[in-house]
Amino acid sequence: MGIEKIEMDDCVSSILITHEEIVNKCKEIGTQITEEYKGKRPLLIGLLRGSVPFFAELIKSIKCDMEMDFMDVCSYADTHSTGVVNIIKDIKSDVSGKHIIFVEDIVDTGITLDCIINLFKKRKAASIEICTLIDKPEGRVRKNVQPKYCGFLIPNKFVVGFGLDYNQLYRNLPYIGILKEEIYRK
Ligand code: PRP
């Protein structure tokens, strides 16, 4: 067994999750989804833009029939805290009767997914689950949002990489790292 050589970029103070750990976790979750969705032909929906690297790595290990689509949304809470979702790009697929798995890079407050899940219930999805690379449970406002498939639980730190950005930068890092404070305090 060789020791993985990890190169760290200047923007991060430390690496929280290595590329190897991410790849292994994607295999694990992909295998679980394969077993649990055999014969169900799930529709995986990636939420743009952060989910793209995770989505691409995950589906390599899903061996049952599946469909994929993408959605881009902005969400915010209205005065009654029910949440409103602004769809920038909707999916092309018909949802009715389908088994949906939302794929996210991170779930934090849960507001985004809460809004979308409500929408997909109205669209009569047969089932809806969440698959996220990162979960930050400390930030959760919508406690009902509970990912069934979760790569890593992390503390309330500012993380970047593998899809996660700061001001649209650093999504291309192959690992997840803690952003240096001097960058976001500038
Ligand atoms: C991020 C992330 C989730 C959402 C999670 O998206 O990809 O969609 O925020 O946050 P929440 O649980 O607090 O709602 P963002 O709007 O930053 O867009 P991006 O994917 O383009 O980075």
Distance CA 144, CA 82 (A): 12
Q: Which atom of ligand 1 is nearest to 47's Cα?
A: 8
Kindly give the distance from the C-alpha atom of residue 180 to the centroid of ligand 1, in angstroms, as a whole number. 20
Distance in Å, CA 113 to ligand 1 centroid: 9
Residues annotated catalytic, as ranges: 108
Per-residue pLDDT tens for 97-108?
A: 999 999 999 999
Shortest-distance atom of ligand 1 to CA 164: 22
Give the closest residue (by CA) to ligand 1 atom 2.
106
Confidence of residue 3 (pLDDT cuts 50, 70, 90): low
Whole-angstrom distance, CA of residue 182 vs CA of residue 131: 32
Distance 17 CA to ligand 1 centre (A): 19
Shortest-distance Cα residue to atom 16 of ligand 1 = 74
Nearest CA to ligand 1 atom 5: 107
The residue assigned the tokens 């001097």 is: 182
Runs of H (alpha helix) within the chain: 19-36, 52-59, 111-122, 181-184
The model's pTM: 0.93
Q: What is the pLDDT of residue 166?
A: 94
- For 81, which DSSP code? S
Domains observed in the chain? 2-175 (3.40.50.2020)
Distance from the Cα of residue 80 to its chain's centroid: 26
pLDDT above 70: percentage of residues in the chain:
91
Cα–Cα distance, 23 to 107 (Å, whole number): 19
